[in-house]
Amino acid sequence: MERGGPGCHYLRHRIRLMQTEAHPALYWHMNDDGRIQCNLCPRDCKLHEGQRGACFVRMRQGDDMVLTTYGRSSGFCIDPIEKKPLNQFYPGSSVLSFGTAGCNLACKFCQNWDISKSRDMDRLMDQASPKAIAMAAQRYECKSVAFTYNDPVIFAEYAMDVADACHAHGIHTVAVTAGYIHDQPRRAFFAKMDAANVDLKAFTDDFYFKLTGSHLQPVLDTLVFLRHETRVWFEITTLLIPGYNDSDVEITAMSQWIMKEIGPDVPLHFSAFHPDHKMPDTPATPPATLVRARNIAIREGLNFVYTGNVHNLNGDTTFCPTCQTPLIVRDWYQINAYRLTSDGHCPGCGTAISGRFAARAGTFGRKRIPISIN
């Protein structure tokens, strides 16, 4: 683009508009050297006037920090809850999904990089107040609203306000997150969430540092916090990348940690990588790798292990951990059989199945419905 051309002027205008509509941010303090430090996530970005954090959406204006994406979205869509993925949170129900832009990680393998790494404010054309989102979810009969596509941790103030509005209208809230967040905001953020899917991207700090620009321990801390200090229903997803985090040794170690620190009943999803972003030459994950990982996790004692984004009936099905009766049989996101009792037990042996269940399964199926809020 030519310097000073109309496109350049327009982009500068859009950025100025975003700045003037910026929302006061929480979780920061002023350092002795005059820089503002963001306390939201372990990146601890230290900012001079006008600088943005690594997430791109949290910015210093004067002696304050602001969130530049409050009330703006990269789009709204109604999805099956299983797509988040959440297999044991009101199965078959619909969820109103949206995200903003930016991310506090730098995953070289990001599957949503066009959103998470976007620096183009024109992507955020959809505007919606928290109340408007909650009312839209109610109007479309969605069971929940999901903060997804990019990590909601970085737009925590917006997500928490949307959550309050949703709860006022009887709508559940779901966070799809990498869990890379400091303790104080972690407590405030998840206090507003009913469910979460947490990306456990690997089980070595070397992977986290080299491929995501972050560290493993804060994610483990988030998982332990969710299990032992909240009532949030959560499930875990691991994207298996050939040659990087798919060895038997690593999958075994991760499964053993989950078993010891979280327990056997947290659902674990293994999903397949496809070449994208900065790893276009890495091969796609073979379906057999997901099946192998699932078998390892089950062998280590985990009760609910799924294979995601590949077609595998066993890997899609929820089995009773006691008698192995197939309780929720799925074909992709379509529920073909639902055998739980109205109070969430196996009808055969009476085992209580962990999760959040309605008296009967939802019937939303495989649909994907883009919508406009306003």
Question: In this structure, is residue 268 part of a structural domain?
Answer: yes
Question: In this structure, is residue 90 part of a structural domain?
Answer: yes
Q: Are residues 78 and 111 in the same domain?
A: yes
Instruction: Using pLDDT thresholds of 50, 70 and 90, give the confidence band for residue 363.
Output: very high
Q: Are residues 88 and 228 in the same domain?
A: yes
Q: Which of 14-23, 26-35, 79-88, 289-298 has the lowest mean pLDDT?
A: 14-23
Q: Is the pLDDT of residue 9 over 90?
A: no
Q: Are residues 110 and 242 in the same domain?
A: yes
Q: Are residues 52 and 117 in the same domain?
A: no
Instruction: Using pLDDT thresholds of 50, 70 and 90, give the confidence band for residue 12.
Output: very low
SS (H, E, C) 225-278: HHHHHCCCEEEEEEEECCCCCCCHHHHHHHHHHHHHHHCCCCCEEEEECCCECC
Question: In this structure, is residue 308 part of a structural domain?
Answer: yes
Q: Is the pLDDT of residue 355 over 50?
A: yes
Q: What is the pLDDT of residues 73-123, one digit of tens each?
A: 888 999 999 999 999 999 999 999 999 989 999 999 987 766 655 555 555
Q: Are residues 142 and 266 in the same domain?
A: yes
Q: Are residues 10 and 150 in the same domain?
A: no
Q: Which of 31-35, 80-84, 121-125, 206-210 has the lowest mean pLDDT?
A: 121-125
CATH classification of the domain holding 130: 3.20.20.70
Q: What is the pLDDT of residues 232-289, one digit of tens each?
A: 999 999 999 999 999 999 999 999 999 999 999 999 999 999 887 778 899 999 999 9
Segments of the chain assigned E as strands: 23-24, 28-30, 36-38, 46-47, 58-61, 64-67, 72-73, 75-80, 94-99, 126-127, 144-147, 172-177, 195-199, 233-240, 268-272, 305-307, 318-319, 326-331, 334-338, 369-371
Q: What is the pTM of this model?
A: 0.92
| Domain total in the chain | 2
Q: What is the pLDDT of residues 141-187, one digit of tens each?
A: 999 999 998 999 999 999 999 999 999 999 999 999 999 999 999 99
Looking at residue 101, its pLDDT comes to 87
Q: Are residues 29 and 99 in the same domain?
A: no
- Residues above pLDDT 70, as percent of the chain: 91
Q: Are residues 63 and 92 in the same domain?
A: no
Q: What is the pLDDT of residues 290-299, one digit of tens each?
A: 999 999 999 9
Q: Are residues 59 and 86 in the same domain?
A: no
Mean of all residue pLDDT scores within the chain: 91
Of 269, 266, 263, the C-alpha closest to 237 is 269
Q: Are residues 56 and 106 in the same domain?
A: no
Looking at residue 63, its pLDDT comes to 96
Q: What is the pLDDT of residues 323-354, one digit of tens each?
A: 999 999 999 999 999 999 999 999 999 999 99
Question: In this structure, is residue 1 part of a structural domain?
Answer: no
What is the rounded distance in angstroms from the CA atom of residue 178 to the CA atom of residue 144? 20
Domain boundary among the residues 67, 92, 107 is at: 67
Looking at residue 112, its pLDDT comes to 72
Domain that holds residue 50: 6-67
Q: Are residues 33 and 84 in the same domain?
A: no
Q: Are residues 199 and 267 in the same domain?
A: yes
